Structures are given as structure tokens and as C-alpha cells.
Copies of this chain bind each other. A is one copy, B any other.
Amino acid sequence: MRARIEDVAETAGVSMKTVSRVFNREPNVSEKTRLKVESAAKALNYRPNPSARSLAGNRSYLISLVYDDPAAASSYIMEIIVGMLAACEDSHYSAMLRPLEYSNSDHVDAVEESIAQFRPDGLILVPPFADDLRLLRRLDELGVRYATISARAKLGLAQIGTILDERKAAADMIAHAVGLGHRRIAHIAGPAPHGGRAWRLAGYRDGLRKAAIPVDDSLIVDGGFSFEAGIIGARTLLDLAEPPTAIFAANDDSACGVMHEALERGMAIPRDLSVFGFDDTPSSRQVWPSLTTVHQPCRDMGRIAAEQLLASIRDTGGGQLIRVPYELRIRQSTGPAPVHSSAKPI
């Protein structure tokens, strides 16, 4: 059977507690003793038993990622998971995935239930959970630590996690579109509960304002983060009497939907229509023409959020809100505005 801490203690000629000190990097262990313990542990191929550790130490060494179930297989989430796993690895923590249905009105209960059942030492929340004031307040009440990714600022008690200036990023993109000569620039807005919707929409307006282009409300349609939402939004916009020459979609998936619909109609991209996405998911490189978008460092965001959460678990007061940079990725889906003010089929 596996070696236990007692065996290591005996082999090293010290007490169990000293072995425990070494493994938990507690202070007040002499260098000599530490080396003895380490070599004994190595000789016995000792690995602490996580369940015993958790039980005795009253923590689970587990953090939990809470995200919206329908987005469970999105590359945005996947990248965050990869980053989170990397951070956990480094700290000998485990990561647990909690895809929950946000649209289910009981999602606060669902989170609480999940906490009661698995007792994670902390949570990572992504939108729309990160933006849910009721949830954050409840977690604060319960004393549960959490980090957020891309939360609307200043909602939670503890400002821990990562944030990216989506508003400025969106404005930058609009500026780029304006630079290409576009004047009729449409926006397909994201789903309401996501902070991203508000930011990207605000950035869109900022961009137009800066270019002194009046906002035309018919060019702003409600959409969502899905491919289908992009198709539907594109239909609405391209059917307008005076359709846009550029469309800024809520994210890459919906931008793919826009391109799909435009190409179905026989339009050429970017000749007849420029398309802008957001997120820089793998598919934005794989579609043709490849998609101009805003790169979010999702993997880093996952890693950083986990690191900050772990810091705050280690010592109260630790952990910060880290701003991560975005980057415009100009690809092939955008180009000069057509000479005629409206996009025409071939």
C-alpha cells in the first residue's frame, strides 16, 4: 500500500508534524531536517492523501469554475479552463467545472448547492454569473471567496480577478472601420445579462461619436453570442432599405453567422460588407475570409483569475483585480467601404 505520513516520519526519524510542516512549507523547520524529510519522502514515493488533508485541514484544495451551460463547449470557456488548470497545477489545487444554467432562475441556489456539496475553497465566475449582483451579494454573505472574469466593475465586495477594457476595444474597432471609410456601421448587441453587451455597445457609440457619426438606432439590433443570433441579426440589417457597409457583431460566433448569411446572399466579403468580431476564438482564424476581431487573452485570464483567487485564499486580503490587454487583429473580413453607400449583391 501507499506510504503514509507516519512512514515518512519514521524513516526520517522525526515526528509526523514535522513532515507535515515540510510538505506545507510552514516556517520553523531547519534546513537539515527538511532535507532528511524530503529524501525519506522520495525514497518511499510518498504523496499526501488529499482527502485526509482536506478533512483535517478543513479545506478542499479545490476551486470551482462557474459558467453558463449553453456556452459549455465554447472556446472562450475552454481557454479559460486551460489557464485555470495551469494555475491550479502550480499550487497543487484541483479545478472543478460547474456548468450551470443561468437562465434557470434558481441559479443562485444552484451555486449554493454546489458549494454545499463540494466545498470548494473558492469560485471563479465568468459572465453572466460575474455580473449577477444577487449572486455576488449572497457569496459575500456566505463568506465564499471568488474571483471574477470580465465583471462589470465595482459590483462584488472583493475586487479580485481579471478585467479587460472591452469598451475601449470596441471603440478602437469602430475607429478602424471609420478609417476604412465606413459610415453606416451596424452593431449586433450581445445578450442582456452579460456585462460585455453593455461595454461593447458603449464602445460602439463612443467610436461613432468620436468620428462625429450620428447613431442610427435602426443599425443596432439585439442579438446574442451565438452563430444563429448572427444570422438573424444579419438578415435584419441586410434587409434594410439602406443596409450597413460594416457590421460589428457581439462576438466571433455571431460574426461567423453574419458572414455566413452575407455569403449565402452572394455578397463578397470584404468587398460588399466588412465584418468585425470580438474574442479571437480559433474559428475566427479558420473561417474564410478570416475574421477581424479583438483578441482577448482568455487563457491568461483564466490563469490570472485562478492565481488571484488562490492568493486571496492563502491570505485574506491577498488577490487583486488585474487588467489584461486586448489587441486588434486585423484580418481579411474587413476592407475599404464600397463606393456606393449600400452593399449590393454581385
Chain A residues with a Cβ under 8 A of chain B: 2, 45, 47, 49-52, 54-55, 60, 72-75, 77-79, 81-82, 85, 94-97, 99, 116-119, 227, 253, 256-257, 259-260, 263-264, 282-283, 285-290
The listed residue (B2, B99, B116) touching A85 by CB distance below 8 A is B99
Least CB distance from A16 to B in Å reads 16
**Complexed CA–CA distance, A47 and B113 (Å):** 9
**Complexed CA–CA distance, A57 and B227 (Å):** 47
Least CB distance from A125 to B in Å reads 18
B75 touches A75 (CB 8 A): yes
Least CB distance from A141 to B in Å reads 16
- Collect the chain B residues with CB atoms within 8 Å of residue A253's CB: 286
Main secondary structure of the interface of A (DSSP, over half): helix
B283 touches A260 (CB 8 A): no
**Complexed CA–CA distance, A91 and B283 (Å):** 35
Number of copies: 2
A79 touches B73 (CB 8 A): yes
Interface pairs (19), CB distance under 8 Å: A45-B116, A50-B51, A50-B118, A50-B119, A51-B119, A52-B55, A73-B79, A75-B75, A75-B78, A78-B78, A94-B96, A227-B285, A256-B286, A257-B286, A260-B288, A260-B290, A283-B283, A283-B286, A287-B288
- Collect the chain B residues with CB atoms within 8 Å of residue A73's CB: 75, 78-79, 82, 282
A55 touches B49 (CB 8 A): yes
- Collect the chain B residues with CB atoms within 8 Å of residue A72's CB: 78, 81-82
